[in-house]
Every structure is written in C-alpha cells, then in structure tokens.
Chains A and B, each alone.
Chain A
Amino acid sequence: MFSDFTEIVILSLQVSGIALLFSTLIGVPVGAIIGLTRFFGRRLVAAILYTGMGFPPVVIGLFVYILLSRSGPLGALTFPFIPDLFTPGAMILAQTIISFPLVAGFTMAAVMGVNPNLRTQMLSLGATKRQAALTVLTEARLGVIVAIAAGFGSIISEVGAVMLVGGNIEGRTRVLTTAIVLETRKGNFDLALLLGVVLLLLTFFANLIMLRLQGTVFDE
C-alpha cells in the first residue's frame, strides 16, 4: 500500500517535472523571441498562443491519443523519441503540449512588459543582441517564474489527458490525479482525500520553490 502510494507520488512528479522542463526549455525562448522581435504575423502567433492557454487538456489528450495510436500518423513509426501510448512518455508529451502555451504566453507578456528602452540602453553599453535579450529576460524574471508556475499548475492537477494517453495502469501510468478519480469511483473517499491533500502539498511546495527563485521581491 505505502510503496504503491510512493510510486504514484514519484511518477506524478516525474511526469509533470519532465513535461515542465521541456515546456520551459521550449516555451521561455519562444515567448522571449515573440516578445522581443517584430515580424509579420506576430499578432496572429500571439493570438494562437493565448488560445492554446485556454485549450481543454482532455482535447489535447485526445489529439495525442490519435497521434500515437497504432493507426495514427506517429503510431507506425518506431523512433526512440516517439513514445508509445499508455506509457509515461505519452503522458509527458501530452503535458508538455498543455503547459507550453502557458509558459510561452506568460513569458511573452512578461518580456513585453519590460520597458523597450532597457534593451536599447544595454546595446548602447556594448551588449550583443543576444546579451540584450537575456538581460530583458532576466529583468522579466518575476513574470517568467509566474509563467513556469502556471505551466506546472496546469499539468500537476490535470486528469483528462493523462487518463486518455496513460490509461491509469497500476504500477505503470497511475498518477495522483488518476488515482484520485479511481479511488473516488471505488468509494474509497479517505484514500482519495489523502491523495488530494498530497497533491495540494506538492503544488504548494513547488510554488514555494518558484517564489524563492523570484528573489527578494517579496521581502521589500
């Protein structure tokens, strides 16, 4: 019982943690580029990102399910980086897609909130364009951390997509949210509540860490 419980908690953190890492590695640079550069169709790209922020996770789960199913476009391929359905890899893919627009969208907004004169002044101090962009990103760190926190919040508590692509298989793809659904259906409300409290605590501590990363802004 306890080992099952620990396994579920660890898998939840692994799946959401890796998905958050991917969405951060892709989403923060993408958001920064959209926020800092002017190109044709920029407004349209921003509108697509904002739409993605409100996309129902279960629909993304369905999309990934179709994509990875045997008859789907990726299902027949056997590349090592294309995960199989009903594996943690498929859950990570779905959660990465769910959190990416949030991370990229909030990062874009944070970067656009920094006074554009800062970038000019950094260039004037001898910064390369890349250094100037990184400086702006650093100054927008409060918003970037919020972007990552929002991305994490959207996937750690998400149930529809992981249920669809993971299948809630005991010992393989069962995570906290799918376990809560299962235990509630079985009438094990005590266990479901306990899992719920653990999920809340995990989210709380993850956000505490992110607040710590935001620096001393809350001490002022």
Chain B
Amino acid sequence: MNKETIYQLQNVTKRYGHRQVLNIESLEVFQGEILGVVGPSGAGKSTLLRIFNFLEQPTSGLIKFQRERYEPGREMPLKVRRKVTTVFQRPMLLDRNVFDNVEYGLRLQGRRNGNQRVQRSLEQVGLSEFARQRACTLSGGEAQRVALARAMVLQPQVLLLDEPTANLDPHNVGLIEEIIKTLNHEQSVTLVLVTHNVFQARRLADRVVFILEGQVVEVAQVDQFFEAPQDARTKAFVNGEMVY
C-alpha cells in the first residue's frame, strides 16, 4: 500500500462551549486506504469527519491535509475543500429529479458538460433508470445511493462516509459496500468510514481507529485490530461488550 500521508492530525481538540468532544494527540490517514472509524455514540466520530471535510475548525491543534495547514481561525481554500466530500447518514436531496441531484455538485463547482459523468455515476450505483424520477419518491436505500453518486461524480480525492448504511436493509448495505470497495480499488479514492458496525469495519477497512470520549484509544491494521487488540477497551468493544 502507498503510505503517503494525506491527513496528519497533531493535538487536535474540539470544544462546544465547555464540552470537549475531541482530543486527538496524533492520527494519520494514508493515501488510498480505507480507514474505519469505530466507537460508541457520542465518541466524536462525526465531529472528526466534519473537521476532515473542513466544515468545522478545530478549537486547537493542527491538521495537515497534503501540504495545506488547517488550524483554528484558518478557512481552507475552496480549491482544497473541493478535494474532499462527505456522504452523510441521512442524505438531504434536493426537491428535483435524481439526475439533477447528482449533477448539482458539478454545477456548484462550475464544471460543465457533466452529463456523461452523471450517467456513469448513476450506473455505478445501479440507478440509471431512476434518472428522471423525483428524489422525494426514493426509498432510503435508493436515496443513499443517489448521495453516493453525487459525491462520486465529483471525483474527490477523499470520500468521507458517515454511517452510510445505518438503517438500511442488507441488500442495500451490500450494494453500498460493493461501491465503496470499487471506488477504493479502481479509483484509489481515500475513504474514511465512520460506522457503528464493527463487522462492516472489518469487511471494508484497511486500518481501524477506535475512538472513545473524543480520544484515540487504538489504531491498527484491520487484522491486528480485531484479532490482537492492544487495549482492553478495544477488545471489549470488538467483542460487543459495553464500553464507557
């Protein structure tokens, strides 16, 4: 695997008022990998993802993204911000048809003549025949696949996935996992996958990081993480025990 670092976090904290939700001493994401982020609800996983997408600034610390520095008080340039996109747990689609929803990001970025790319993205998620259907008529699984298509059409360098299969049936979970694998293997997209589902992390991730109360407890290669975890709390989490 290419070990070039794409994100490097140093002493990153995030506070909302008096509440500290993130306190990460050190964490790296490598180019072309799938990093699984697991942990219980409220651990700070989604906040981490928002910082990765430059939607929120850290309260303190430094994030290096490629050669750019992202730190408190600094907005990331739009050109850099557009290298990263997120698929959220609950996709908000526009009150338009599927094609327009997928094309919208291209329009926002001023990219023209994206028809073929939109068609290709829809094919990749198996929704070509839904192109002219209104987004509000889609099922949860279809809507999530549209959200994936509208992110993929932008050809981001980093794709962040925030619980992309939560509340979906096994068929849609399978479809989305296949798309994620294809994106990573064929297009070398770096993926950060936040999930509650340790089995999904095991199926998809190259490395896994366990976050608890905003702190990194353990980060390791997927096999080591599940078969020989170093920390007792990781072991308990992997075994499905309650971890506080």
Residues in A whose Cβ lies below 8 Å from that of B53: 124
Interface presence of A120 (CB below 8 A): yes
Which residues of B in the span 89-114 have a Cβ within 8 Å of any Cβ on A?
Answer: 90-92, 94-95, 104-105, 108-109
**Are A117 and B104 in contact, with the CB atoms below 8 A?**
no
Contacts of B91 in A (CB 8 A): 121
Q: How far is the CA of A117 from the CA of B162 in the complex (A)?
A: 13
A126 an interface residue at 8 Å Cβ cutoff?
Answer: yes
Complex Cα–Cα for A124 and B81 (A): 8
Decide if B85 touches A125 in the complex (CB within 8 Å). yes
**Hey, which chain A residues are within 8 Å of B55, CB to CB?**
120, 123-124
A131 at interface by CB-CB < 8 Å: yes
Q: Which residue of B lies closest to A217 (CB)?
A: B95
Q: Mark B135-171, 1 if CB is under 8 A from A, else 0.
A: 0000000000000001100100000000000000000
- Shortest B147–chain A CB gap in Å is 8
Within 132-158 of A, Cβ neighbours of B (below 8 Å) are at 135, 138-139
B151 and A125 within 8 A (CB)? yes
How distant is the Cα of A128 from the Cα of B75 in the complex, in angstroms? 12
Secondary structure dominating the interface of B: loop
Given contacts A127-B108, A131-B108, contact A121 B78 (CB under 8 A): no
In the complex, what residues of B have CB within 8 A of residue A6's CB? none
Alpha-carbon separation in the docked complex, A139 to B93 (Å): 10
* Inter-subunit contact A126/B109 (CB<8 Å): yes
User: Is B121 close to A, CB under 8 A?
Assistant: no
Contact B108 A117 (CB under 8 A): no
Interface centre among A115, A123, A124, A138 (most CB of B within 10 A): A124
Interface size on B, as a range, is 20 to 34
- Interface status of A122 (Cβ within 8 A of chain B): yes
Q: Which residues of B contact A128 (CB under 8 A)?
A: 78, 108
Q: Is A194 an interface residue (CB 8 A)?
A: no
Q: How far is the CB of B126 from chain A (nearest CB, A)?
A: 21
Any A CB within 8 A of the CB of B82: yes
Contact of B90 among A117, A124, A125 (CB under 8 A): A117
| Cβ-defined partner of A115 (8 Å) among B82, B92, B104, B108 | B92
Cβ of B88 under 8 Å from chain A: yes
Interface flag for A118 (CB, 8 Å):
yes
Cβ of B86 under 8 Å from chain A: yes
Chain B residues with CB under 8 A of A118: 92, 94
Give the distance in Å from the alpha carbon of A120 to the alpha carbon of B81 in the complex.
13
Residue of B nearest to A215 (CB): B95
- Closest residue of chain B to A140 (Cβ to Cβ) is B95
User: Is there contact, CB below 8 Å, between B94 and A125?
Assistant: no
Q: Using Cβ atoms and an 8 Å threshold, which residues of chain B touch A131?
A: 108
From residue 48 to 83 of chain A, which have CB atoms closer than 8 A to chain B? none
Please report the C-alpha to C-alpha distance between residue A120 and residue B53 in the assembled complex, in whole angstroms. 10
Using Cβ atoms and an 8 Å threshold, which residues of chain A touch B90? 117
Q: Which residues 1-31 in A have Cβ within 8 Å of B in the complex?
A: none
A115, A120, A121: residue with the most chain B Cβ atoms closer than 10 Å: A121
Q: Given A117-B88, A117-B90, A120-B55: A125 and B105 within 8 A (CB)? A: yes
Chain B min CB distance to A130 (Å): 11
Q: Which of the residues B92, B150, B151 comes within 8 Å of A117, measured between beta carbons?
A: B92
Question: Is there contact, CB below 8 Å, between A139 and B109?
Answer: no
Q: Report A179-210 residues with CB < 8 Å from chain B CB.
A: none
Q: How far is it, in angstroms, between the C-alpha of A115 and the C-alpha of B85 when the chains are bound? A: 19
Closest residue of chain A to B50 (Cβ to Cβ) is A120
B92 touching A126, Cβ below 8 Å:
no
Which chain B residues lie closer than 8 Å to A138 at the CB level? Answer: 94
Q: Check A125 against B88 for contact (C-beta < 8 Å).
A: no
Q: Within the assembled complex, what's the spacing in Å between the Cα atoms of A73 and B150?
A: 56
Which of B81, B82, B95, B154 lies in contact with A139, CB distance below 8 A?
B95
- Contacts of B109 on A, CB cut-off 8 Å? 126
CA distance A216 to B86 in the complex (A): 30
Given the complex of chains A and B, what is the CA–CA distance between A117 and B86 in angstroms?
A: 12
Are B95 and A122 in contact, CB atoms less than 8 angstroms apart?
A: no
Q: Which 3 A-B pairs have the closest CB atoms?
A: A125-B105, A126-B82, A118-B92
Q: A117-B90, A121-B91, A139-B95 are in contact. List 5 more A-B contacts (CB 8 A).
A: A118-B92, A122-B108, A123-B55, A126-B82, A135-B108
